[in-house]
Amino acid sequence: MTQQSGRRVTANLSLTLDGRYHGPDGPGDFGAFAPYVSSEVARDHMTGIWRDATTAVLGRNNAEGFMGYWAPLAEDESADPRDRGYAKWLVGTEKVVFSTTLTEPPWERTRVVNGPVADVITELKKSGEGDILVNSSAGLIKPLLAADLVDRLHLMVFPEIAGGGRRLFEDGLPATRWTLSQQETGKLGELAMVYDRAR
C-alpha cells in the first residue's frame, strides 16, 4: 500500500445512484441533483467538507461557476448560515485553479496552474497546514484517485438514476480500500457519506 505524508487531500462530489456526476445532456445537466442539494443533510455535509481545509482546488469551469454563485452569498445576511459559512470560506481561502486558458487569476487569493494535477497536489502536500480540498471537480479527482492521492472522499448520493452522463469511478482505477467514517440519510433518501482511505 502507498504511504502518504504531508497534508491530507480530500475531495467532494455528488453522484446519482448510477454513479453519474451530471446527467445525459452534459456537464450542465443537474436535473437529478436539484431536489437534494439544499436539503438539511446536504447543507450539513457541505459544512463538513471545508471545516479543516485551507486550500481549495478547482477546475476552471467549476471555479467560474462557484465564484459567480457563492461570492455574493458571502455577503448575504439572509442566506442560510451553512451556505454563508461555505461561501465566506471559499472567497477567503487559498485557491488553486487548473486551467489551460486562463493566464491571470480573476479572483483574489488564487493561483492558476496548467500542469498534471497529481504533480501539483504532491507539491502542495509538502508545505502549509490544513486539508487540500479538491472541490467538486471530477476532472481533477479522477487522476488523483488513479495516483492514490486522495485521503478522504465526501460523497453525496442522490436516489435518482440519470441513465447517462459521466461517472466518477471508471474502469482502470487501482484497487483501494476505504473506511466509512460518517453516514447520514436525509428525508428524501439522499445519503451523505465520508470515506477515509485505509492505508
pLDDT in tens, 81-138: 999 999 999 999 999 999 999 888 889 999 999 999 999 999 999 999 999 999 999 9
The letter for the amino acid at 179 is T
- With a pLDDT cut of 90, the percent of the chain lying above it is 83
Which residue, chain included where needed, has cell 487559498? 94
What class, spelled out in words, does domain 9-179 have in CATH?
alpha beta
Q: Around 193, how many Cα atoms within 13 Å sit in the side-chain half-sphere?
A: 15
Structural domain spans, the chain: 9-179
Q: How many other C-beta atoms are found inside a 10 Å radius of the C-beta of residue 49?
A: 22
- Residue pair 104/112 in contact by the 8 Å Cβ criterion: yes
Distances (CA, A) of 158 to 32, 91, 137, 188: 8, 27, 18, 9
CA dist 93 and 124 (Å) reads 14
Question: 13: which strand partners?
Answer: 155
Question: Given pLDDT bands bounded at 50, 70 and 90, which one contains residue 188?
Answer: very high
**Taking the complete model, does pTM exceed 0.85, yes or no?**
yes
The H or E element spanning position 94 is strand 94-98
Question: 195: which strand partners?
Answer: 153, 180
**Cβ-based neighbours of 44, under 8 Å, separated by 6 or more:** 82, 184, 192
CA dist 152 and 193 (Å) reads 10
Question: Given pLDDT bands bounded at 50, 70 and 90, which one contains residue 65?
Answer: confident
Distances (CA, A) of 195 to 90, 125, 140, 144, 166: 23, 20, 18, 15, 21
